[in-house]
Amino acid sequence: MSEDELYVKQFKAWRTEQELLLKQINYDIEVSRRKIELNEKQKELHLKRVNIGIQEFNNWAETTNRKERLELLKEVEACLD
* Residue 78 scores a pLDDT above 90: no
Q: Cα separations (Å) of 4 from 10, 11, 48, 49, 69?
A: 10, 10, 66, 67, 80
Q: Is the residue at 74 inside a domain?
A: no
8-state DSSP, 15:
H
Residue 79 confidence (pLDDT) above 70:
no
Residues 27-62 have pLDDT tens digits of 999 999 999 999 999 999 999 999 999 999 999 999
How distant, in Å, are the alpha carbons of 10, 28, 66 from that of 18? 12, 15, 67
Query: What is residue 75's predicted lDDT score, i.e. its pLDDT?
Result: 83
Q: Is 47 exposed, middle or buried (0-12, 13-18, 19+ CB in 10 A)?
A: middle
The pLDDT score that the predictor gives to residue 80 is: 61
Tell me whether residue 32 is in a domain.
Answer: yes
Could you count the other beta carbons within 10 Å of the beta carbon of residue 8? 12
73 domain residue, yes or no: no
Q: Which domain holds residue 10?
A: 1-64
Count of domains for the chain: 1
Does residue 76 register a pLDDT over 90?
Answer: no
For the full predicted model, state whether its pTM sits above 0.75.
no
